[in-house]
Homo-oligomer: A and B are copies of this chain.
Amino acid sequence: MEAIEKALSFIIEIEKLKDVQRKTKPVGLNRFENSAEHSWHACLCALILKDYSNDPIDINRVLKMLLIHDLGEIDAGDTIIYSSETNEAKTKEKKGLERLLSLLPGSMNIELMKLWEEFESGETADARFAKAIDRIPPLLHNIYGEGHSWKQYGITKDQIFSLNARIGKGSEKLWSEISSMLEGAIKDGILK
């Protein structure tokens, strides 16, 4: 197959991310979100919120990370973060991403796999910020959506505060803002 045909076959294969259902509903919508539209939203969140990063970041690398960060879910599915940050789930996602990237021509697969690994490790400033951004939309969905997925999965306020405190590693300012919104959700009785 020619390089251009390979690239187009990848482009068709990744359409499947539009069929991966997540655990929260977008604000105002009465259906679950899919991982493709989430990836778009995360990218725009990063662009709009970039100045709140703790450390200097390269927003262009952050955007690329967020564009590809969920591709492994095409094979592995989406899993709720409160119960599933297991090695097994991560290995499944990585294998899924490898399969997809193997469709690409040239060395683009290596470049994108490295970027995904950097995101997953969460050690560089770019990855810390990208991971912080990735956490924000599902929290907003719950805060503005009667805590629907918190209720469905029986997630407590302690779990939410301890797991999401990591947002602060990418952006103290965002975590402080989100924390007060979560406190508001507790007052409103939608988070217990």
The residues of A with any CB-CB pair to B shorter than 8 Å are 4-5, 7-8, 10-12, 14-19, 26-29, 33-34, 36-37, 39-41, 43-45, 47-49, 52, 60, 63-64, 67-68, 104, 108, 136-137, 140, 144, 173-174, 177
Q: Is the CB of A44 within 8 A of B15?
A: no
The chain B residue sitting closest to A4, CB to CB, is: B177
Q: Which residues of B contact A45 (CB under 8 A)?
A: 11
Q: Is the CB of B140 within 8 A of A14?
A: no
Q: Is the CB of B67 within 8 A of A44?
A: yes
Partner of A27, one of B5, B15, B49: B15
Partner of A18, one of B29, B43, B104, B140: B29
Q: Which residues of B contact A33 (CB under 8 A)?
A: 18
Q: Which residues of B contact A177 (CB under 8 A)?
A: 4-5, 8
Partner of A26, one of B5, B18, B26, B29: B18
Q: Which residues of B contact A18 (CB under 8 A)?
A: 26, 29, 33, 37, 41
CB distance from A5 to the nearest CB of B (A): 7
Q: Is the CB of A48 within 8 A of B140?
A: no
Q: Is the CB of A41 within 8 A of B15?
A: yes
Q: Which residues of B contact A140 (CB under 8 A)?
A: 8, 11-12
How long is the Cα–Cα vector from A43 to B34 in the complex, in angstroms? 17
